[in-house]
Structure 1
């Protein structure tokens, strides 16, 4: 793939914000399926994101008959609602149109952008009918060119996670989506993510290769890796959020609880301030120590 990268790609309009190098880091609270099919839990998680100072919340939208792998459909799963097949479980945790309208209105009322990761083409059409601000491609969907083509056709900005993917696969995905309204997220799809697999320097690799804004989607425990990603230039940070990590669900254990998300946003904003502009100067706060401690002048 031939690309024409820029050192500092311009920000991409996304909802009420812009995502880019000269913009505040765009913090996404990934609700995903951590609502367990309950609108009230989803609203509580939206409140958590708003009170922490995030800019957006994200869900996942599937058409279970299409997106559920054939080999898993009839597998029996133990759930809080009893024993059911995996396909039945997928339907159990999916929101319908009215439920999405309700949680979307709540997010908007709390000042948050909201959107979702569609896992199939009908889900793209479903979300477009709700007029979401943009779309997110899950790492598992990087090679689903039919889905990517449908997303490109919407004309909406797209955030593409790059976990479990080679550069060659990402090349094809980027070519399919185009770069005009694209944000990439570096990700490693290990749950939970061990530090040795974070590979944060890939943020720079993606920036240089594609010339688009690059953020970070984290599945680690704790905050340090996400904060380090910001120091390395990540323009957006996405983390799963939960009310309680002991709740039932596959993503709960690697999610941030309310205090964790609040602390993450706090630390991101501190790092943003600390990065500066790279111009070496004597700051006002140094003048008193300078006059008191420097014995030999210039």
Structure 2
């Protein structure tokens, strides 16, 4: 399958997505700088999120609409205030996408409601992503799938039955190019909770491309994912964690994303096939193997 001009398959290097999310800190100049930095790392795509606080939640500051989790980066905030802080203004999408195109990057987005899909269609985005928090939102999946564009679905928290329903909904609505991303919906995630072995199982179960939406720190989980067949890796990206921002604590900096691009491609290159015996590259080393020679007159 292809997104833009990039072919996504096990015969190609992994497709690397830099997720901007709210790391623009409400500065368009910073958003454009993030795209430029991502392009320099060799990442193939930049991803946005398309919503407003009013389209995604209610302006309520208690109960399930208030974050009390002691381990949350966002403890003490209402969902409304968090999303108001994190959202990307819709009028920024066009200049962001234009800059990405100028730099040879693919730019697409995660819509969180049907109005966002309608808006993104006016910008002719090349693909869509469904976030883990929306993978049970079947009307949204149906609307996105009906565009006929490649669809990426993050699988955080979803059971096999829920994923099956999401996949069937997408395919029944017209989706022909589907990617499922293994995802652990904790921020940050730990290697112990990443369960990378799910990736080949998902490929077999749903007969589609698979990858990793990775919230761990570092590149280890991403490299392991590629070793187990992941063809897409998504990482949150920022210019510097020290700059702060809603997602900065689990976002990669430019030097780290560059290393991820290089090492995941190296992991892909190393997979090869099942090979025994001397390869062409080894033939010059045959002279060093243990050998028998007649050293005296027999």
Give the equivalent residue in structure 2 for 1:35: 24
Once the two structures are TM-superposed, the CA of residue 85 in structure 1 deviates from its matched residue by 7.2
Aligned to 1:151: 144
Question: What are the superposed Cα offsets for residues 177-222 of structure 1, whole Å, 9 maximum, x if unpaired?
Answer: 1162111111111111111101000001101100000011100011
**Alignment of structure 1 residues 84-233 onto 2, 5 Å:** 87=80, 90-91=83-84, 93-178=86-171, 180-233=176-229
What secondary structure does 1:170 align onto?
Answer: helix
How far is 1:250 from its partner? 2.9
CA contact (8 A) 1:63 1:123 kept: no
User: Separation in 1 of the partners of 2:95 and 2:139?
Assistant: 29
Q: 1:285 to 1:29 in 2, by over 3 A?
A: same
Structure 1 counterpart of 2:45 = 56
Aligned 8 A contact 1:183 1:213 in 2:
yes
Judge conservation of contact 1:36–1:93 (CA < 8 Å) in 2: yes
The offset of 1:93, in angstroms, is 4.6
The 8 Å contact of residues 86 and 246 in structure 2, kept in 1 or not, is answered as: no
> How well do the aligned residues superpose, as a CA RMSD in angstroms?
2.2
Report the secondary structure of 1:233's partner residue.
coil
Q: How many pairs were matched up?
A: 280
Compute the TM-score of the two structures, normalised by the length of structure 1: 0.87
TM-score, normalization by structure 2: 0.87
State the shift of 1:89 in Å.
5.8
Higher radius of gyration, 1 or 2: 2
The answer as to whether partners of 1:243 and 1:258 remain within 8 angstroms in 2 is: yes
| Distance change >3 Å, CA 113–CA 289, structure 1 → 2 | same
Q: For each residue in 1:252-275, what CA deviation from the matched residue of structure 2 results, as whole angstroms up to 9, or x when unmatched?
A: 111100100001111012112211
Query: Once the 2 structures are TM-superposed, how far is the Cα of residue 72 of structure 1 from its aligned partner?
Result: 4.4
Matching of residue 21 in structure 1 with residue 41 in structure 2: no
Quote the Cα distance in structure 2 between the aligned partners of 1:55 and 1:258: 14
Alpha-carbon distance in 1 for matches of 2:194, 2:239? 25
Aligned-residue offset at 1:291: 1.4
For 1:205 and 1:267, locate their aligned partners in 2 and report how far apart those are by CA, in whole Å. 23
How much has 1:27 moved relative to structure 2? 0.4
Change in CA separation of 1:290 and 1:69 when aligned onto 2, cut-off 3 Å: farther
Q: Cα offset for 1:248?
A: 2.7
- Matches for 1:231-270 after TM superposition, within 5 Å: 231-270=227-266
Cα offset, 1:56, TM superposition:
0.2
Following superposition, the deviation at residue 284 of structure 1 comes to 3.3
TM-superposed deviation, 1:165: 1.2
Select which of 38, 60, 67 maps to 2:56.
67
CA contact (8 A) 1:136 1:158 kept: yes
